[in-house]
Amino acid sequence: MNVAVLGPGLLGGSIALALKERGGHSVAIWARREESAREALQGGFADRASTEISTVVSGAEMVVLATPVGSMPDLAREAVRWIAPGTIVTDVGSVKSMVVRDLGPILDGHARFVGSHPMAGSEKTGMAAACARLFEGRPCIVTPLPETDPEAEQQVCGFWEMLGARVFRMTPEEHDARVALISHFPHLLAACLVNMAVDQDPAALDLCGPGFRDTTRVASGSPGMWVEILRSNGPAVKKSVEAMIEKLGETLRLLGSDCPEEHMHAFLTHAKAERDRLRLPK
């Protein structure tokens, strides 16, 4: 398959590497900067790499938008001028309602767009952090609309399955609500925890163990990328914030010396049981 990957970041780079490792695919990468295009070629990520969208997408059977979500509409507007009619287009954006709403009108009628979101990020960014096995065993959410071409949907699902992902289909709205809970809000929560601890007593931070390291890992992610994600999915993230404030209020009662110890035990046991049964990446 001829695949054009627009954006040589962690996800775009990993898609390219995974395709190259499987063999039998031709990969072209578009990068905004000449230097990144050169690195993509020299690093063996792609058969072709360029800053010209026209040369990257022409001949592509599948185009993957892998830039920050805010720059996808402009990129799609440029790409749609050069892609063959009926070309399948997908993206890797962390929010789906906004992306699907923005890209549909730009691409539909010419290309066939189906939104995707592989749950395989990292606090690291850029092609240097890319990994051919990034998607193996990871969930990838595909968000077709009622009017989405079934063959295009099938091909996008098959694409992610080929890269090793476990595909889940749901509406863009279901995606945004669920991913707010398990990705967007936890990111904000990690940032809150760091900022709260620093506010309360900066000297405490010298004592951090592996628990604090892991609980706050995602707070080291790119602020620019995450502002965009959090604000694009603002209402769903707010709902999680409110639910968490309520849950923390519950723990104030559980911590009270007048509350039987068994209540806190049940709270922690429930959390442990639910977490232990998750299918998590190694």
251-280 residues in contact with a copy of itself (CB under 8 A) are 251-252, 255-257, 261, 264-265, 267-272, 274-276, 278-280
Contact positions with a copy of itself (CB under 8 A) in 173-232: 177-179, 181-183, 186-201, 203-221, 223-224, 226-227, 230-231
Backbone φ and ψ for 124, nearest 5 degrees, come out as -85, 150
- What contacts 165, CB < 8 A, 6 or more positions away? 118, 120, 135, 136, 137, 138, 139, 140
- What contacts 213, CB < 8 A, 6 or more positions away? none
Own/partner pairs, 36-43, CB within 8 angstroms, 24+ separation: 36/8, 36/127, 37/8, 39/8, 39/127, 40/8, 40/13, 40/16, 40/127, 43/127
Residue 128 or 205 having the CB closest to a copy of itself: 205
Residue 86 or 235 having the CB closest to a copy of itself: 235
Contact positions with a copy of itself (CB under 8 A) in 156-175: 168
Residue 87 or 97 having the CB closest to a copy of itself: 97
Record the tokens describing residue 40, joined without a space: 């993509």
For the bound state, the minimum distance from the C-beta of residue 212 to a copy of itself, rounded and expressed in Å, comes to 5
For the bound state, the minimum distance from the C-beta of residue 176 to a copy of itself, rounded and expressed in Å, comes to 11
Contact positions with a copy of itself (CB under 8 A) in 60-79: none
Residue whose tokens read 């996800």: 11
For the bound state, the minimum distance from the C-beta of residue 257 to a copy of itself, rounded and expressed in Å, comes to 7
For the bound state, the minimum distance from the C-beta of residue 57 to a copy of itself, rounded and expressed in Å, comes to 29
The pattern of x and - marking residues 117 through 156 that bind a copy of itself according to CB under 8 A reads --xxxx---------------xx-x---------------
For the bound state, the minimum distance from the C-beta of residue 99 to a copy of itself, rounded and expressed in Å, comes to 17
Beta bridge partners of 168: 141
As a whole number of angstroms, the distance between CA 140 and CA 162 comes to: 12
220-241 burial code (b ≥16 CB/10 A, e <16):
ebbeebbebbbebbeebbeebe
Residue 54 or 220 having the CB closest to a copy of itself: 220
Residue 52 or 250 having the CB closest to a copy of itself: 250
Residue 132 or 179 having the CB closest to a copy of itself: 179
DSSP class per residue in 212-257: HHHHTGGGGS-HHHHHHHHHHTHHHHHHHHHHHHHHHHHHHHHTST
Residue 162 or 197 having the CB closest to a copy of itself: 197
For the bound state, the minimum distance from the C-beta of residue 72 to a copy of itself, rounded and expressed in Å, comes to 17
